[in-house]
Structure 1
Amino acid sequence: MSVFVFFPEDKPDSATLNHQISGYIYKRDGWVKETFPIPDIIYDRCLFKNVKETSVAASFLGGLPETTWSMWSRGLPGKRRVYDLLKREQALSPFLPHTLSYTGSKSLSKAIDLFDGELFMKPSGGSHGRHTLYVNCKRADETILQGRDRSNSIFQKTILARDLFHWVNNFTGRRRFIIQPYLKLSSREGSPFDLRVLAQKNARGRWTTTGMAVRQGPAEGKTSNLHGGGTAMSAPSFLESEFGVSLAGEIIACINHLSECIPPLLENGFGRLGELGIDFGIDCSGKVWLLEVNSKPGRRVFRQTGDIPAAKLSVENPLRYARYLLLRQLRRVNT
């Protein structure tokens, strides 16, 4: 298999009509730009920041000959649609935090009452921890705000309670947000943490768990994403130090079970998928919460924890699954 990288900003030109595309291949001295045949399989790893970037990628793919390629995997829709689908599964319901869509002041007011004046807001689309907000309305005359802005910088401020709805409206802008109760998912030292599971399809097209790792963020940040300055560590050793050996074993067993159930459910609801980053929170009592699922997960956690087998497998599995898809196509052509 030949593997190369290309960018949607490089619009299809006359070369595309001849089934050629410009891209980059990694060689001994670094990335080299060359011309390639249009690939049989395309894996969309773009992390779109706005509607314009999304439309540019769609335009690029729309300009390619339709019969010469297929997508490696679909992407997941927004967090609310994923939540609604998983909520239908009775066995998963206890692990899902109550989730509302933010649609303005009325929805925020409802969430404040429902969640006892303490809540967490995040974009419905992937954000790597950026643009998230913790709201504490427990005081009558003022509100405590804490989170990360669009550039992923940590902020904390206190505003008058009467200014909250206007402030949140400006903070969210035109992006879609969801609202959830604030879950106390911090270590004994007060640092936020979560647990990332990487689920991938293997060379036989079957879901497997590649590995898991804990991500811990700075205490003032409320989130633990690596993009926001978080660090990764071994899940078993961290959980054992926080909860003891027995409870840590129960937590890991629960997470392993959920990680086996979730990918097929999402695939049945949204179409064929190739890999998923599944994020779990664990509160101070040891209860497991499913926080979110990402269809374009990162892989840095395994390098940071020193789990070299998982790190290697995390980059090999997408190639193995691509080969599985190609061989399946060939079998269909030849039968």
Structure 2
Amino acid sequence: MKHFGIMTLSLNNEISYVEEIAKHADPADFRIYHFMPSTFNPYTEKVKGKVFHHKKGKWIAGEFPLPSIIYDRCFYHESPHSNQCKNIVNWLKQRKDIQFIGNGLPNKLKLYEVLASSSLKAYLPKTKKLTSAKQLIANLPSINPVIIKPIHGFQGNGIYFIHKRKKDIVVKTDKKEKQVQHIFTDERKFSEWLNKILAKNEYLSQPYLPLCTRNKQPFDIRCFLQKKPDGKWRVIEKGVRLGDKNRIISNLSAGATVIPFHDWVKDFSSSSQKFLTQELNDILSSIPAVLEASFPSLFELGIDIGVTENGSLWILDINSKPGRKVILSAYPHLAEQLYKAPTLYAAAITDIVETKEG
């Protein structure tokens, strides 16, 4: 019996996804646990959390030995608890008696540096670390408007659109319910505001790309990739996220809707369809190899691709802990496959390790 643990920063995070993994796991092969890294006791080698009881169909709280297979679904941010968990997980990854089914990726800036040194450079918006308001103001004449985003951000949180308009500086950001805009009439007040933001989190800056439909809806293509049990990558599916008109981002958390990629691309001419599909396939086939040449082995990727009006494709973001909402919204028939995938892959890689050790 294999012991498969799912780690999150809170036992309230991703409850439905964690439970579906447990329900779809073979009870003859796996015992499924859910726990937080911060509950690990180095003296007893145990963690507190819950274990899934297949016959009863429910979770049972308890303390148990650290599972030998771990699926890390922790989304780290700037907080004492998050930093504590991150340090514990980094330590656990050094242990040879624990198998992680995916090792995660570094922050957005480090990721950019690796991709910019590869054949994918042409698909990347030029990215710089933002250190001060003075730096951004000095660069505005050449990259106006500009987008700034947290280096450690996720789900579109903390993204700002900044536009120098004559003497004014316009700042916009998307909240769940609405878009918030503020106009700074002088650079001093803008600098005070931005420096406060930068004091709380590390940020990067990129030129703003007009990734909108003709109806002014922001959109991007979420591509979901996973490794098969044989270790080969495959594109599970692609979904197009359409945001509300005049919004900055197209994240589901900001109210975006989803349509299947195959339906969306039908609105293009046959030649454009062929170009977009081929270019997209080329990008997706290259990314995993580039990443795994520099970072530890991965299991899944959520890759966000933008398309400008002239047909140029841009790599917007890559996430090693992608959600499933986009793909499940567009392709609900894939649910069983997605919920079984983590334990099927875990079974394959642990069998390989056991064979080598034997």
> Could you state the TM-score of these two structures normalised by the residue count of structure 2?
0.83
Structure 1 Cα separation of the partners of residues 343 and 92 of structure 2: 25
1:224 aligned onto 2:250: yes
- RMSD between aligned alpha carbons? 2.4
Does the 8 Å contact 1:130/1:152 carry over to 2?
no
Tell me the number of residue pairs that the alignment of Structure 1 and Structure 2 aligns.
Answer: 326
How many angstroms does 1:51 deviate by? 4.0
Q: Secondary structure at the match of 1:314?
A: helix
Structure 2 Cα separation of the partners of residues 227 and 154 of structure 1: 13
Does the 8 Å contact 2:225/2:300 carry over to 1?
yes
Counterparts in 2 of 1:64 and 1:267: CA distance versus 1, 3 Å: closer
Please list, as runs of the form range in 1=range in 2, the aligned pairs for 1:76-115 lying within 5 A after superposition: 76-89=105-118, 91-115=119-143
CA deviation vs aligned residue, 1:32-53 (integer Å, no higher than 9, x gap): 3244442121111011232423
CA deviation vs aligned residue, 1:137-191 (integer Å, no higher than 9, x gap): 0x22111111136x88631121213222222222333211111110000111111
Counterparts in 2 of 1:12 and 1:214: CA distance versus 1, 3 Å: same
Structure 2 Cα separation of the partners of residues 289 and 321 of structure 1: 30
Q: Secondary structure at the match of 1:171?
A: helix
CA deviation vs aligned residue, 1:70-127 (integer Å, no higher than 9, x gap): 32221211111111111111x3122111111101124313431331x21111111132
Q: Name the aligned partner's letter for residue 174 of structure 1.
A: K
1:298 aligned onto 2:323: yes
Structure 1 Cα separation of the partners of residues 66 and 302 of structure 2: 28
Counterparts in 2 of 1:145 and 1:60: CA distance versus 1, 3 Å: same
Aligned to 2:68: 40
Task: Identify unmatched segments of 5+ residues in structure 1.
Answer: none
How many angstroms does 1:217 deviate by? 1.4
Please list, as runs of the form range in 1=range in 2, the aligned pairs for 1:4-83 lying within 5 A after superposition: 4-12=33-41, 16-17=44-45, 22-25=49-52, 27=54, 29-58=57-86, 60-61=88-89, 62=91, 66-83=95-112
Structure 1 Cα separation of the partners of residues 266 and 200 of structure 2: 42
How many angstroms does 1:289 deviate by? 0.6
Does the 8 Å contact 1:7/1:23 carry over to 2?
no
> Could you state the TM-score of these two structures normalised by the residue count of structure 1?
0.89
Structure 1 Cα separation of the partners of residues 131 and 282 of structure 2: 34
Structure 2 Cα separation of the partners of residues 199 and 65 of structure 1: 26
Structure 2 Cα separation of the partners of residues 26 and 192 of structure 1: 44
Instruction: From 131, 142, 153, give the equivalent of 2:158.
Output: 131
Does the 8 Å contact 2:33/2:49 carry over to 1?
no
How many angstroms does 1:63 deviate by? 7.8
Structure 2 Cα separation of the partners of residues 300 and 279 of structure 1: 14
Does the 8 Å contact 1:146/1:221 carry over to 2?
no
Structure 2 Cα separation of the partners of residues 236 and 186 of structure 1: 18
Structure 2 Cα separation of the partners of residues 148 and 308 of structure 1: 31
Q: Secondary structure at the match of 2:169?
A: strand
How many angstroms does 1:59 deviate by? 5.1
Q: Name the aligned partner's letter for residue 170 of structure 2.
A: I
Structure 2 Cα separation of the partners of residues 256 and 127 of structure 1: 24
Q: Name the aligned partner's letter for residue 153 of structure 2.
A: G
Task: Identify unmatched segments of 5+ residues in structure 2.
Answer: 1-29
Q: Name the aligned partner's letter for residue 261 of structure 1.
A: S
Counterparts in 2 of 1:157 and 1:204: CA distance versus 1, 3 Å: same
Aligned sequence identity (%): 26
